[in-house]
Amino acid sequence: MKYKAIMLDLDDTTVPHGKLSAPSPRVLRAIAKAKQKIHVCIATGRPLDITLPLIDHMSLSGPCIVNHGTVIYDPVKKKVIREVFLQSASIPAIYEVCKKYNMFVLAFDGEKDAEYTGGSEDKLISMYIPQIVPSEIDAMMDAFAHVPHITAHKLTGWDKNYMRIEVTHAEASKQHGILEVSRMLGLKTEEIIGVGDGYNDFSLLMACGLKIAMGNAVPELKAIADFIAPTVDEDGVAVVIEKFILGQ
């Protein structure tokens, strides 16, 4: 198979978890070489404002999927080309789950996070529970599974003692984003390499022809991967590019 695009998760894949700094020099060199042969895109849970500096630093030209697939950004035209908002009717039900578990929740409108305490909202991209003890994460995910028209994304915490959940529209995930980007670029999904490490990268890998999990990935993601790359600290993304793109 000749691959025509690669979709890279950011945190703990292309850069260490939560770091705003650029990828390592080896990874940057590999990305620069890959861009001469294929489309290099990112698919991240980060919001656009935090992602933009890395997009610019890597000089990406492929459409970039941000905020769990709710937003697609064109780095050439420097504009958002797709946004998917929560249905207004879903918001009270999401909030009820958060209240049941006494969880602080943030509402994201595409530009800023603000604490949500109820009331009507017409245009929210996502709702975010930033600090969940691991013993409660599965029960909350199960509760969100009963709310129609949404997807709950299970995430590792910035503090390793906690987990996080971000809730988006059911048609906003990395998988939906990749399907849309493949349509824009005129590609078959089998021609795309997906690289990730976390729970929210299941949808990324399942949308791609070649599924790659980082060496530091969660065990469940490794179980569905075609190839296990070295860890983020071992420049695993560079190894993937050298093996599957520069060598093809």
What would the pLDDT profile of 116-135 be if each residue is shown by its tens digit? 988 777 789 999 999 999 99
d(CA 15, CA 8) in angstroms, rounded, equals: 10
Determine the distance from the C-alpha atom of residue 219 to the mean position of all C-alpha atoms in its chain, rounded to a whole number: 18
Contacts of 51 (CB under 8 A, 6+ apart): 10, 42, 44, 64, 66, 73
pLDDT for 91 equals 94
pLDDT for 126 equals 95
d(CA 82, CA 72) in angstroms, rounded, equals: 5
pLDDT for 164 equals 93
Residue 83: strand, helix, or coil: strand
Q: DSSP letters of 96-161? A: HHHHHTT---EEE-SS-EEE--SS--S--SEEEEEEE-HHHHHHHHHHHTTSTTEEEEEEE-SSTT
Would you give per-residue pLDDT tens digits along the chain (248 residues)?
A: 799 999 999 999 999 987 777 899 999 999 999 999 999 999 999 999 999 999 999 999 899 999 999 999 999 999 999 999 999 999 999 999 999 999 999 999 888 889 998 877 778 999 999 999 999 999 999 999 999 999 999 988 777 789 999 999 999 999 999 999 999 999 999 999 999 999 999 999 999 999 999 999 999 999 999 999 999 999 999 999 999 999 86
Question: Which of 63, 64, 82, 83 lies closest to 10 in space, CA to CA?
Answer: 64
pLDDT for 248 equals 63
Q: What share of the chain is helix, strand, coil (3-state, %, to 5)?
A: 35, 25, 40
Please, which residues bridge with residue 203 across strands?
A: none
Please tell me the pTM assigned to this model: 0.89
End-to-end CA separation in angstroms for the chain: 9
Question: Which of 107, 132, 116, 110 lies closest to 199 in space, CA to CA?
Answer: 132
pLDDT for 170 equals 95
Indicate the helix (H) or strand (E) that contains 234. none
Strands 150-156, 163-169: pairing is antiparallel
